[in-house]
Copies of this chain bind each other. A is one copy, B any other.
Amino acid sequence: MTGELQALLTRLHEKDYKLTPQRKVILKAFVDNKDEHLSAEDIYGIVKEQYPDIGLATVYRTLDLLAELGILLRMNFGDGRFRYEFSNSDVHQHHHLICMECGRVQEFADDLLEDLERRVGEENGFRVVDHQVKFYGYCSECDRKKA
């Protein structure tokens, strides 16, 4: 756990970014909330407990930085704000199931898409470098409640 945070800090340090307490605390928030898809405001709320004087602008700037470095993934679920998650390079491709009732986001991994990606690129004269797949529907819980 601590080792993971350390590794990330080292990664920043290697690129000559300063290791400020604000950056540490934001990174820690992601380490502690691995499965979440956090918005800037979410992070701000979490981080304010440990570091009450942090400014929202700093959160935004840090998220930008971490996303540029590839440490975070910036995603858009269509709810009007960006959300961020740890860019776990092990699980290379993972996608999202978005519940239209409660808004909960589940993840799923799938490699079948790489095939599709290649084929679509060839057929359309397009060099595909990334893809994003979202399925919309109802999670089992909401589906049960509705029935």
Q: Chain A contact residues: over half helix, strand or loop, or mixed?
A: strand
Whether A54 is near chain B, meaning CB under 8 Å from some CB there, is: no
Determine whether the beta carbon of B140 is less than 8 Å from that of A121.
Answer: no
CB within 8 A of A127: which of B108, B120, B124, B137? B137
Whether A102 is near chain B, meaning CB under 8 Å from some CB there, is: no
Whether A7 is near chain B, meaning CB under 8 Å from some CB there, is: no
Q: Could you tell me the distance in whole angstroms from the C-beta of A68 to the nearest C-beta in chain B?
A: 14
CB within 8 A of A130: which of B121, B125, B136? B136
Inter-chain contacts of A13 with B (CB < 8 A): none
Interface centre among A108, A120, A125, A135, by most chain B C-beta atoms within 10 angstroms, is A135
Q: Which 3 A-B pairs have the closest CB atoms?
A: A128-B137, A125-B140, A130-B136
